[in-house]
Structures are given as structure tokens and as C-alpha cells.
């Protein structure tokens, strides 16, 4: 008799778990038995956890909204500041004022870049942006990012060599991956000595395609390497250069969001080698 | 998430000539975690409605669903247990047990259910309601406001699906009323409780997220406010 009852109880417990997994759990009865008490308690627990789950989702949604608001509301005034500082630059005659205006202009552009980068990272983190990796050719993307960097490189007499095989393909999101690679290339140009060469090569493995950006810059100390992908991290010797330390962080976010990764090899004084792995 | 819903709720008393329609087709839905006030003059049917919602009385027609369960289908005994586990009551007359001290009164519904007391939860409730120093006092040593705070603590102790309050400040002066109501609202938010409160006092009703007006057994109009 008691064996039967134990079996019944176990069967009901099993049923409770099944129903819970299907999201259809309901209390079957209200009486003074232990089982009924357990059902009530289980129900209370489920409602509470359901509730906190919803709360988390709501909070997440409100953060997304906040980020959208910030990006939206700061855009216009900032564009105006940049525009007016440009106009002022053209009007101002004496040298001292010119210097000041140039600084205002530079700092505003920096601020704009910073806000844009922060918005991007927050959207990547919160999953607002969905990357869509597709089979794409690598070569045209490399041409694009080189074109973007040419002005800066040209000013320092740096040449960028594109040694990527034109037929090579990999699976990636075009726009975002270009941004990730550009940040790396931009760094390479920034930290390379005048007149040197930055080299971009690529290779296909069985699972991954890699794109390698090699510079002959100052290099990164071994103990610094793990930290360069952190948000707002700036190299110890990097303070002379422009920048805010968010580029590499963003790059890693983008690459990791498409199941790839980035490795770094560097020797102080000899140069660095950033290698981006993308799924084929 | 809707925690409480009534559909076509009717309660008729008497027959033929003397038929009284205390409730005549009431449809309401109440969101989890909100505070609602049911307002109406005496005889409008608001107490009848609260009694129905709390399973203290059965409707002539219609359904009452709490956490997805239609309580009008439950047998008397099941209903009693359902009430004990799912509904917290706060009455005008406090209804504390005079021979038990404050703490014992608060945990009474839990012990009636043969459950172990979640001490941390009870302690938090006692703290939020400012009853720490009264833990061992007897009800007759407390002021009206303090007694009602104990009743609120008791209603929250079982973590019920809804808390029903019938004129919770009917026996209190206006200053104490304000105190008790603020505490009710704050604790409701803190413990994410759904509260349905009956009152005939408009200014008290203004504390709620939503006001349900009832007249001659029917819902009048819905006023919704931001919390």
C-alpha cells in the first residue's frame, strides 16, 4: 500500500517537472497533503523566477533605449559644434586664436568618435546589433580599409602593402569586419615610424581564414599584450599619440561576435603582428 | 502578467420582487505588482466584490481567475486552503489574535499551513514596517496604526499572489491612515505584491496605480494613473 503511494507521489513529481519544462504547470489540488503544499510552493517559486526574468528583460530594454536616446540627442549639437568650429577656423586670422579653434575642432571630433564607439560597443554587448556573417571576398574589404587609412599613412610616408590573395573568401559581416580591421590597421599606422611599411597578408586554413596586419612600430611589451583589448586601455608609451583606447576593444567585440578571434605577436622595438581569425 | 481576472461576475440576493443585484456583470483584470483601489459608495457592491475576489463568497454567475486558476470551481475545503496560501487579507478591524504576540501573529498563516517560516523574509517585512521593537508586544499594547501594520505584515508573510485590503484605514485617524497607506504601497512595491484595496475615501484611492469605480454592482469607468 505505502509502496503504491510512494509510486504515485513520484509519478506526480515527475509530472510536475515535465509540466514545468513545458511551461504548463498548474497546481492540481488544494488539500492538507505534503504534495499539495509542495505544489503551492513550487508555483510560488516559478512565478517569482518568471517575474525576475521579466524584470531583467525590461531593464535590458530600458538600457537599450537609453543608449539610443544618448546617441540621438547628442548627434545634432555635436555636429553643430564641429560645423561652427570649422566656420570659425576659416574666419580667424591671428595665430593664437587659430590654435585654439583647431583644438576645439579636434576635441569635438574626438568626442564624436568616442560617443559613436561607445554606442557601437554597447549595442554589440546588449545584442541590439546582429552581425550577419556571409561568404565574402577578403580582398575588396582590405582595399577599402587601406583607402581609408591612406591619408594618415601618406602624411607619415608609410606604405601599406596589400598581399592578400584576390580569390580568398571567408565568412564575415562586411561592414563590421571592415571596421574591426580598420581599427587594427589604424593603430599600425599610428605607431609605425615614418617611411616604414605596413603589410597585410592572408592565409586559409581548414577551418579558419586569417588576416595578418604587420607593422614595424614600437611594439608592445609582453605584459601589456593581455591588456590592450581592454576598454580605455592605452599603451604606456602611447600617450603621445591621438586616441582614446577603444578601437581594439571594439575590434575584438566584433570579431568575437562572429565566432572569430584575434591574436597578437609583438617584440618591443621591432613591431607587432595582429592576426584576425575568421571562420571560413 | 495578469494575476487576477473576473469575467461576467454576478451576485444576486433574494428572488422576484426582492431581487438585489449586488454585482451585475463585473469584468476586471489586475496586473501583477500593481496597487488597485476599488471605490464606491456604501451599498455599491464593493465589499461583495472583494469577498468574491478573496474566495470568501461564491458568485451567482461568472468566473474569478487567480494565477490562472478558476477559483469558482474549487470545493469548499480546497478553497479554504487556496485562500490561505494565495491571498493575504487586511481588514478594517485588524483581526489580530489577542493571545499571540506580534511575531506569532505574523507567522500564524505560515504555521497554519504546516510550513517552515522563512525567517529572513519575515525579518525584512518586520523591518520595512518598523515593527522591530514591537516583536514581542501583545496586540492590546499597540496603537491602531501599529496593529494595522502587524496585519499588513501577516498578509505579506506567506508571499501571497494577491493582497486584499478591506477599508484598511477605516478605523484609523487621518494622519495614521496616511502612514499605514504609504507603508502598504511601499511594501507592496518592495515585495512586488499585487494589492487590491477597498475604500470609500477618494484621497486614499489616489495612492493607487489604478482606480476601479463601482456603482450599483457595475464598473463605472476606469481611471488609470502613472505610479
Q: Tell if the CB–CB gap between A36 and B74 is shorter than 8 Å.
A: no
Residue A51: half-sphere exposure toward Cβ, Cα within 13 Å: 18
User: What fold, for A134-279?
Assistant: Heat Shock Protein 90 (3.30.565)
- Using the Cβ of A47 and the Cβ atoms of chain B, whether some distance falls under 8 Å is answered with yes
How high is the pLDDT of residue B170?
Answer: 85
Query: How is chain A split into domains, by residue range?
Result: 1-129, 134-279
pLDDT at residue B97 above 50?
Answer: yes
All residues at 6 or more sequence positions from B95 whose CB lies less than 8 Å from its CB, including other chains: B89, B151
User: Mean pLDDT over all residues of chain A?
Assistant: 86
Looking at residues B33-52, what average pLDDT do you find? 88
Query: Contact, B142 vs B122, CB < 8 A?
Result: no
A91-120 confidence digits (pLDDT tens): 888 889 989 999 999 889 888 888 888 888
Query: Which residue is closest to B33 within chain A, CA to CA?
Result: A51
- Using the Cβ of A45 and the Cβ atoms of chain B, whether some distance falls under 8 Å is answered with no
A263-274 confidence digits (pLDDT tens): 898 888 888 999
- Band of the pLDDT at A241, cuts 50, 70, 90? low
- The residue among A236 and A184 whose pLDDT is bigger is A184
How high is the pLDDT of residue B226?
Answer: 40
A134-146 confidence digits (pLDDT tens): 898 999 999 999 9
How high is the pLDDT of residue A238?
Answer: 63
Burial A200-215 (b: 16+ CB within 10 A, else e): bbbeeeeebbbbbbbb
Q: What percent of chain A has pLDDT over 70?
A: 95
**Angle formed by the axes of helices B144-157 and B174-190, nearest 10°:** 20
A38-91 confidence digits (pLDDT tens): 998 898 898 888 888 888 988 888 887 888 788 888 888 999 999 999 999 888
Contacts of A43 in chain B (CB under 8 A): 67
Residue B200: half-sphere exposure toward Cβ, Cα within 13 Å: 12
Contacts of B69 in chain A (CB under 8 A): 26-27
Looking at residues B64-93, what average pLDDT do you find? 90
Q: What percent of chain B has pLDDT over 90?
A: 40
CATH code that applies to domain A1-129: 1.10.287
Q: Is the pTM of this model over 0.80?
A: no
Domains and CATH numbers, chain B: 2-224 (3.40.50.300)
- The residue among B102 and B202 whose pLDDT is bigger is B102
A218-228 confidence digits (pLDDT tens): 888 888 888 88
pLDDT at residue B18 above 50?
Answer: yes
In degrees to the nearest 10, what's the CA dihedral of B116, B119, B121, B127?
140
- The residue among A121 and A193 whose pLDDT is bigger is A193
How high is the pLDDT of residue B227?
Answer: 38
Query: Which residue is closest to B193 within chain A, CA to CA?
Result: A48
Looking at residues A193-205, what average pLDDT do you find? 91
A 10 A CB-CB count for B166 gives: 21
Asked if the domains A1-129 and A134-279 are classified in one and the same CATH topology, the answer is no
CA–CA dist B140, B97 (Å, integer): 10
Query: Contact, A179 vs A129, CB < 8 A?
Result: no
B155-164 confidence digits (pLDDT tens): 999 889 899 9
CA-based radius of gyration for chain A: 28
- The residue among B101 and A110 whose pLDDT is bigger is B101
CA distance B99 to chain A (A): 25
How many interface pairs between A and B have CB atoms less than 8 angstroms apart? 34
User: Mean pLDDT over all residues of chain B?
Assistant: 88
* DSSP annotation of B116: P
pLDDT at residue B225 above 60?
Answer: no
Q: DSSP of chain A, one letter per residue?
A: -HHHHHHHHHHHHHHHHHHHHHT-------SSSHHHHHHHHHHHHHHHHHHHHHHHHHHHHHHHHHHHHHHHHHHHHHHHHHHHHHHHHHH--SHHHHHHHHHHHHHHHHHHHHHHHHHHHHHHHHT-S----EEEEHHHHHHHHHHHHHHHHHHTT-EEEE---TT-EEEE-HHHHHHHHHHHHHHHHHHSPTT-EEEEEEEE-SSEEEEEEE--SS---TTTGGGTTSTT---TT-TTS---S-HHHHHHHHHHHTT-EEEEEEETTTEEEEEEEEE-
How high is the pLDDT of residue B191?
Answer: 87
Q: What percent of chain A has pLDDT over 90?
A: 25
CA distance B43 to chain A (A): 33
B168-217 confidence digits (pLDDT tens): 888 888 888 888 888 888 888 888 899 999 988 888 888 888 999 988 88
Amino acid at each position: 500500500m505505502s509502496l503504491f503511494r510512494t509510486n504515485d507521489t513520484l509519478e506526480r513529481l515527475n509530472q510536475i517537472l515535465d509540466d514545468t519544462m513545458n511551461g504548463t504547470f498548474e497546481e492540481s489540488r488544494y488539500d492538507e497533503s505534503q504534495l499539495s503544499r509542495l505544489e503551492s510552493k513550487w508555483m510560488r517559486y516559478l512565478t517569482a523566477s518568471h517575474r525576475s526574468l521579466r524584470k531583467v528583460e525590461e531593464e535590458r530594454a530600458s538600457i537599450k533605449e537609453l543608449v539610443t536616446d544618448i546617441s540621438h540627442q547628442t548627434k545634432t549639437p555635436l555636429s553643430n559644434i564641429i560645423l561652427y568650429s570649422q566656420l570659425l577656423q576659416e574666419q580667424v586670422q591671428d595665430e593664437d586664436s587659430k590654435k585654439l579653434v583647431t583644438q576645439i575642432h579636434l576635441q569635438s571630433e574626438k568626442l564624436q568618435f568616442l560617443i559613436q564607439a561607445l554606442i557601437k560597443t554597447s549595442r554589440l554587448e546588449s545584442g541590439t546589433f546582429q552581425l550577419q556573417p556571409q561568404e565574402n571576398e577578403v580582398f575588396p574589404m582590405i582595399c577599402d580599409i587601406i583607402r581609408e587609412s591612406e591619408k594618415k599613412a601618406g602624411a607619415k610616408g608609410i606604405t601599406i602593402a596589400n598581399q592578400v590573395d584576390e580569390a580568398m573568401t571567408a565568412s564575415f559581416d562586411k561592414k563590421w569586419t571592415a571596421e574591426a580591421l580598420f581599427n587594427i590597421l589604424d593603430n599600425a599606422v599610428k605607431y609605425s615610424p615614418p617611411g616604414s611599411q605596413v603589410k597585410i597578408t592572408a592565409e586559409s586554413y581548414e577551418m579558419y581564414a586569417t588576416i595578418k596586419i604587420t607593422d614595424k612600430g614600437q611594439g608592445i611589451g609582453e605584459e601589456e599584450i593581455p591588456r590592450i583589448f581592454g576598454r580605455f586601455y592605452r599603451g604606456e608609451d602611447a600617450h603621445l599619440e591621438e586616441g582614446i583606447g577603444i578601437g581594439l576593444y571594439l575590434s575584438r567585440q566584433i570579431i568575437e561576435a562572429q565566432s572569430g578571434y584575434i591574436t597578437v605577436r609583438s617584440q618591443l622595438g621591432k613591431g607587432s603582428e595582429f592576426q584576425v581569425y575568421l571562420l571560413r | 502578467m495578469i494575476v487576477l481576472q473576473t469575467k461576467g461576475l454576478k451576485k444576486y440576493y433574494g428572488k422576484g420582487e426582492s431581487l438585489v443585484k449586488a454585482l451585475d456583470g463585473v469584468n476586471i483584470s489586475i496586473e501583477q505588482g500593481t496597487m488597485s483601489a476599488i471605490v464606491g459608495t456604501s451599498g455599491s457592491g464593493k465589499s461583495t466584490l472583494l469577498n468574491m475576489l478573496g474566495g470568501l463568497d461564491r458568485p451567482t454567475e461568472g468566473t474569478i481567475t487567480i494565477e490562472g486558476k478558476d477559483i469558482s470551481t474549487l470545493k469548499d475545503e480546497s478553497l479554504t486552503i487556496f485562500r490561505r496560501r494565495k491571498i493575504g487579507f487586511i481588514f478594517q478591524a485588524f483581526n489580530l489574535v489577542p493571545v499571540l504576540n506580534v511575531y506569532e501573529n505574523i507567522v500564524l498563516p505560515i504555521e497554519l499551513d504546516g510550513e517552515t517560516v522563512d525567517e529572513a523574509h519575515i525579518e525584512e517585512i518586520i523591518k520595512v514596517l518598523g515593527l522591530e521593537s514591537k516583536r514581542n508586544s501583545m496586540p492590546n499594547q499597540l496603537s491602531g496604526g501599529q496593529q494595522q501594520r502587524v496585519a499588513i505584515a501577516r498578509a505579506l508573510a506567506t508571499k501571497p499572489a494577491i493582497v486584499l485590503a478591506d477599508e484598511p484605514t477605516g478605523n484609523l485617524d487621518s494622519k495614521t491612515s496616511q502612514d499605514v497607506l504609504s507603508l502598504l504601497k511601499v511594501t507592496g512595491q518592495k515585495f512586488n505584491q499585487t494589492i487590491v484595496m477597498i475604500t470609500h475615501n477618494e484621497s486614499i484611492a489616489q495612492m493607487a496605480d489604478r482606480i476601479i469605480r463601482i456603482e450599483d454592482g457595475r464598473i463605472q469607468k476606469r481611471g488609470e494613473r502613472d505610479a
